[in-house]
Amino acid sequence: MVGRRGETPLVPPYNFRRSNTAMALATARPASNLRAIGCVAFEYRDRCMSFTRRLFAVIPAAGHSRRMGQPKLLLPWRNSTVIESVLAVLDHPAIAARAVVVRAGDVPLEEAVRRAGGLLVTPAVEPPDMCASVRCALELIQRDFAPHDDDGWMLIPADHPVLDRGLIDGLIALWERDRPSILVPRVGDRRGHPTLFRWSLAREVDRIPVGCGLNWLLAEHAADVSELLVTGTAAITDLDTPEDYARLRSE
């Protein structure tokens, strides 16, 4: 199945899968129409695409980087730092705000988030886990932006330095076109990030049982999960250890 009549289809390597049924969304297009960005090729239409729903990026960044041994989000990456690189990739016309949850008192990280234009979220009480961080960000977005149920939030952990703009473009294009309740990228047999949710699902974060992560939402709404099949590893590569950092810097 290709794009709906009158729409410009995506191009390989994109495939769209809903539940367990794979549906190819694309046919090949002339190379002159494509812009290759990292792991994907996508017709670059940001400036002419109109977005009918707002997206809000939620970026948990309140961890202690214990396995790294130093603040990993402030490590040099390309021309800035890890956190600034992630926020730069998320600087997209469809994303109304990039909310970054930072521990109160983590001044260097706060300054980096401000430099990159992120929306700083500093809970009064340190979040004990990622769910708590996400909840804080969603509450602030609800208060300041009053999203509609049909808007969305995009979950992306802060330690994904190889996050690719092409991946973001592809996810947002499918989000706009097919309006799934949940959209997640898949690389082979692994799901990755970012994950996109309808805003109506933000209310269910409070229902997540203690000890369960955000994957609980995907399990609860398994029939409503759509997948974007991508090549490359940008969706599944995070940064935890000095060995990870050395390897990614050498690639």
Give per-residue pLDDT as tens, 32-52: 222 222 333 333 344 335 677
Q: What are phi and psi of 173, to 5 degrees?
A: -60, -45
The answer on pLDDT for 92 being more than 60 is: yes
Give per-residue pLDDT as tens, 210-235: 889 999 999 999 999 999 999 999 99
Of 36-45, 85-94, 172-181, 211-220, give the lowest mean pLDDT range.
Answer: 36-45
Q: Is the entire prediction scored with pTM above 0.75?
A: yes
Whole-number pLDDT of residue 50: 62
Residues near 95 by Cβ (< 8 Å), separated by ≥ 6? 55, 56, 57, 154
Whole-number pLDDT of residue 6: 34
Beta bridge partners of 35: 42
Is 132 exposed, middle or buried (CB count within 10 Å of its CB: 0-12, 13-18, 19+)? middle
Whole-number pLDDT of residue 39: 32
Instruction: Find, among 175, 225, 237, the residue nearest to 38 by Cα.
Output: 237
Measured between alpha carbons, how far is 26 from 45 in angstroms, rounded to an integer? 16
Helices 82-89 and 107-115, axial angle in degrees (round to 10): 30
Beta bridge partners of 180: none
Domains of the chain by residue range: 55-250
Of 29-33, 53-57, 239-243, give the lowest mean pLDDT range.
Answer: 29-33
Beta bridge partners of 190: 187
Over its C-alpha atoms, the chain yields an Rg (Å, rounded) of 18
* Reported CATH class of domain 55-250: alpha beta
More confident residue, 185 or 16: 185
Whole-number pLDDT of residue 186: 95
**What is the average pLDDT value for the chain, to the nearest integer?**
83
Give per-residue pLDDT as tens, 121-154: 999 999 999 999 999 999 999 999 999 999 999 9
